[in-house]
């Protein structure tokens, strides 16, 4: 389902993919809690498998509530089709397992979500699938890596986690297409409000719906958006692998999507203001936020993004102990591993995301002891700044 030319994203967030009236004349999409669907008679079975009727066969292959969420997500991304999964990781692993074969090669940008990186390095390698890591801004390296035999995919994030690097999606799409490879863009931190990867030439857009799309820290889901043929093939793979989301999660996602544009407007505004505050604070050694000129990809971000989001990463002029004291001292921000919800979350990645690694291993991937990642929620910006200020002062004067 492509975006109607006359409808804006705000309208699609509320109305996209949904009929004017559902079963029981309800305004909101009902939760279809069923694993099995009954056929009226044997002829109905024959009609279904001959492709002459649109209906459901079994819960692992489809659900009415899930399908409405998929249609809305496709509309928001301007995609022909979308496929929902129980988590973002299930979405990306299904995609990679379905599209790659032993002997294939995948190009991946660095500063990737740690579990995606782990899957590429630890799991795909066991099946004889090679990989090459490149820096997000190194187009020459991307072109060289894509030239390797049997290169099938270029996988990237925009913005990346946690350093918020921005790739030139349009140029990466050109390079991938020239090499007959597919460009996969994880746009979880951007959302369709801030970045339109398909319009820039990407073949598939990936989201962890757990984050901004759901927006309330109360669901797990992931989605792949792209053209009908590719998503259709991945839908067949989902039926085999078994990654079918439940109807209740789809219902919560639909509810969250209806306010996405309003929430992102505030995330963008608060994120920029708080980044400006942190960037001027004497205790902050380095700040990573694409909305500020200090970020290495600021010029590209200005051209490519419609907003800079609510995730801010920064390194304190401190050791790990003082950094922990700062995180613990925040009164409004909850210490948590996710992002994109209405509640502000903060974490020290060295402890929460990479505790199993040695200090040397953490440093090698940029998870420094003094690194902090902040996901700005919807609390008043002034209150968040005041909270960060008191936590910084307390941590450094303890």
Q: Find where tokens 């920064």 sit.
A: 314
Catalytic-residue membership of 211: yes
| Partners of 315 in the β-ladder | 286, 371
The label of the residue with tokens 């505050």 reads 277
Indicate which residue of 15, 37, 60, 273 is catalytic. Answer: 60
Active-site residue among 186, 246, 297, 387? 186
Active site residue 186: yes
CA torsion angle 161 133 152 244 (round to 10): -30
306 carries an active-site annotation: no
Q: How far apart are CA 272 and CA 310, in angstroms?
A: 8
Structure token digits, residue 184: 């996969």
HEC string of the chain equals CCCCCCCCHHHHHHHCCCCCCCHHHCCCCCCCCCCECCCCCHHHHHHHHCCCCCCCCECCCCCHHHHHHHHHHHHHHCCCEEEEECCHHHHHHHHHHHHCCCCCEEEEECCCCHHHHHHHHHHHHHHCCEEEEECCCCHHHHHHHHCCCCEEEEEEECCCCCCCCCCCHHHHHHHHHHCCCEEEEECCCCHHHHCCCHHHCCCEEEEECCCCCCCCCCCCCEEEEECHHHHHHHHHHHHHHCCCCCHHHHHHHHHHHCCHHHHHHHHHHHHHHHHHHHHCCCCEEEEECCCCCCCCCHHHHHHHCCCCCCEEEEEECCCHHHHHHHHHHCCCCEECCCCCCCCCEEECHHHHCCCCCCHHHHHHCCCCCCEEEEECCCCCHHHHHHHHHHHHHHHHCC
Sheet (strand 222-226) strand order: 81-85, 222-226, 204-208, 182-186, 151-157, 105-109, 130-134
> Which member of 72, 104, 111, 113 is catalytic?
113
Question: Which pair of tokens denotes residue 27?
Answer: 């305004």
Instruction: Select which of 3, 211, 238, 325 is catalytic.
Output: 211
Annotated active-site positions, please?
A: 60, 113, 186, 211
């Amino acid at each position: 389902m492509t975006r109607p030319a006359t409808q804006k994203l705000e309208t699609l967030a509320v109305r996209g993919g949904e009929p004017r009236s559902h079963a029981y004349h309800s305004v909101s999409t009902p939760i279809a809690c069923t694993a099995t669907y009954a056929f009226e008679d044997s002829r109905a079975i024959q009609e279904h498998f001959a492709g002459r009727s649109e209906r459901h066969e079994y819960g692992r292959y489809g659900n009415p509530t899930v399908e409405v969420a998929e249609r809305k997500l496709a509309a928001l991304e301007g995609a022909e089709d979308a496929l929902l999964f129980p988590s973002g990781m299930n979405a990306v692993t299904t995609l990679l397992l379905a599209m790659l074969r032993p002997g294939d090669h995948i190009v991946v940008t660095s500063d990737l979500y740690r579990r995606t990186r782990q899957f590429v390095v630890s799991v795909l390698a066991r099946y004889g699938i090679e990989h090459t890591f490149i820096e997000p801004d190194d187009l020459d390296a991307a072109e060289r890596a894509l030239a390797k035999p049997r290169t099938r995919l270029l996988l990237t994030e925009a913005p990346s986690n946690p350093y918020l690097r921005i790739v030139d999606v349009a140029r990466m799409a050109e390079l991938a297409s020239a090499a007959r490879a597919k460009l996969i863009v994880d746009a979880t931190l951007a959302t369709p409000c801030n970045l339109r990867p398909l319009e820039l030439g990407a073949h598939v857009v990936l989201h962890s719906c757990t984050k901004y799309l759901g927006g309330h820290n109360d669901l797990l889901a992931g989605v792949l958006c792209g053209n009908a043929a590719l998503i259709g093939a991945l839908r067949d793979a989902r039926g085999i692998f078994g990654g079918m989301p439940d109807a209740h999660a789809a219902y919560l996602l639909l509810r969250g999507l209806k306010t996405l544009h309003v929430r992102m407007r505030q995330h963008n505004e608060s994120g920029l203001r708080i980044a400006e505050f942190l960037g001027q604070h004497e205790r902050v050694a380095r700040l990573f936020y694409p909305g500020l000129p200090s970020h290495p990809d600021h010029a590209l971000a200005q051209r490519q993004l419609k907003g800079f989001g609510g995730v801010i990463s920064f390194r304190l002029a401190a050791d790990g102990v003082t950094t922990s004291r700062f995180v613990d001292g925040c009164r409004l921000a909850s210490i948590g591993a996710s992002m994109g919800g209405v509640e502000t979350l903060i974490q020290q990645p060295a402890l929460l995301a990479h505790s199993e690694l040695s200090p040397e291993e953490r440093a090698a991937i940029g998870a420094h002891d003094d690194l902090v990642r902040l996901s700005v929620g919807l609390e008043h910006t002034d209150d968040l700044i005041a909270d960060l200020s008191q936590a910084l002062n307390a941590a450094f004067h303890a």
